[in-house]
A and B are shown apart, each in its own frame.
Chain A
Amino acid sequence: MKPDPDDFLPLAPATLHILLSLAGEPMHGYGIMQEVLRQSGGRYNLGPGTLYDNLQRLMKQRMVEEVAAPREEENSRRRCYRLSSLGRGVLTQEITRLEDVVHEGRMRLRSLKPRRA
């Protein structure tokens, strides 16, 4: 039976950033760390231990797949990873969920604004 992407929500910040960085082309571990750093504006600095621990879990859950290295990196011993269709579905659902959270947050904050006398 195909797993439901909703079952994996909500995602932990590290998981979200890793999936987000893999949403483009396949990447190796160091590339993912650099991409996460870039996405978060330097605020979220993922260490290798945290990264590979998450990748191990994501591969077990079949959200991420290991793929052959791109042609320009063929001589590298590094492993490359990409999003699976399930991973893409989970990421899409999580973004939708976050959009709802942001929308709800904006509404609440707007209603809390002090009224003019």
Chain B
Amino acid sequence: MLRWLYIQLIWLHPATFRWRFGDDMLDDFDRAPNRARLRYLADAVASLARQWLLRPEFRHPEAPAATAEALLETVAVPLFQTIETYKPRPAALLHGGLLGILSILAAVVLIGKGGGAARPFVIGAHFSRPSLLPIDRNSVAASDLNTAVKPGPDPSEAWLKLARPYFVSMPVLRALDSDRDFALSPWEIGNAPAALRQLDTSHEGKVTAGECGLHIDPNSMPPAVLAQLRRQFMSYHPVLAALDADHDGEISAWEIDHAAAALKKLDRNHDGYLTADELVPLEMAVRAGLR
């Protein structure tokens, strides 16, 4: 009995300790005189508490130092470790199976007899009570069941309806959304720098507001007003605002390189995808009745 208890205590130790010292601990216990065994049990309990409470650093096996000297010194010590595979005894499996079948049979008999002697343990009312009012179904049978259930508009369909023209009108979104599903997948987000570089038709190393879809004749207005307009355009569209991190009205080479990280900031629900509700400007969504 004491030995069985001692084995259980060894078993409760952290795996790394058990693998290394479990056999020796049990061997010491077997060698010890009977009068010392109770003390060994108490010592194992103390060791158990120490291992779990004070030795968190030893719970994970560390890689052995593979110096030539150490290898020579431990030449007779096995340098490998087997992973324990716990298999329950066949008798335990049989007992467990029988117990399970008996439990199910007992539950079936109990339900079949409507509680019987064990009625207090059955939840719910088995017999009708005056408090349970009968339902008059005559009115239901006579009436014509003509109620039609009309599903409301599918919100995702509504977003898609808004997204289609928006994605088509935005060169940046057209470039990013390579599979044309009106959403940006994690791969498309990761590929954003390459997609943006394709928009740089002037080969300046940056994507200007014009290349992002702002079509204005630069000679039609003063430069200051034009710059202001560019900044407004870039900040109006969430995807452009995210990409133009310094809000100077264009996506610089550095901003192109860091486009993926910038786009991930738009992922409000953290699902990895940028969908229409995260890309369409708020004003457009409000106007469409989606916000």
A residues sitting closer than 8 Å to B (CB atoms) are 28-30, 33, 45, 47-53, 55-57, 60, 65-69, 74, 77-79
Contact = CB atoms under 8 A, between A and B. Distances in A.
B271 interface: no
Contacts of A56: 17, 20-21, 55, 58
Which of B27, B29, B48 has the most C-beta atoms of chain A within 10 angstroms of its own C-beta?
A: B27
Contact of A53 (B23, B45, B55): B55
A2 to B, nearest CB: 14
Interface of B: 17, 20-21, 23-25, 27-29, 31, 36, 39-40, 42-48, 50-51, 55, 57-58, 62, 70, 73-77
Contact of A50 (B43, B70, B75): B43
Given A48-B24, A53-B50, A30 B31 contact: yes
Contacts, number: 85
A48 B44 CA distance: 7
Nearest to B72: A68
Which of A49, A67, A69 has the most C-beta atoms of chain B within 10 angstroms of its own C-beta?
A: A49
B43 A47 contact: yes
Given A33-B28, A66-B77, 10 more contacts: A28-B24, A47-B44, A47-B46, A49-B45, A50-B43, A50-B46, A56-B17, A56-B55, A60-B57, A60-B62
B76 A52 contact: no
A53 B40 contact: no
A68 B75 CA distance: 7
Closest 7 CB pairs of A and B: A49-B47, A47-B43, A68-B76, A52-B21, A48-B28, A49-B43, A48-B25
Question: Which label, helix, strand, loop or mixed, suits the secondary structure of the B interface?
Answer: helix
A50 B28 CA distance: 12
Contacts of B47: 47-50, 52-53
18 contacts: A28-B24, A29-B25, A29-B27, A47-B40, A47-B42, A47-B44, A47-B46, A48-B29, A49-B46, A52-B20, A52-B21, A57-B55, A57-B58, A65-B70, A66-B74, A67-B74, A74-B76, A77-B27
A53 B17 CA distance: 8
A33 to B, nearest CB: 7
B74 A68 contact: yes
Contacts of A57: 55, 58
Given A60-B58, A67-B73, A69-B76, A52 B44 contact: no
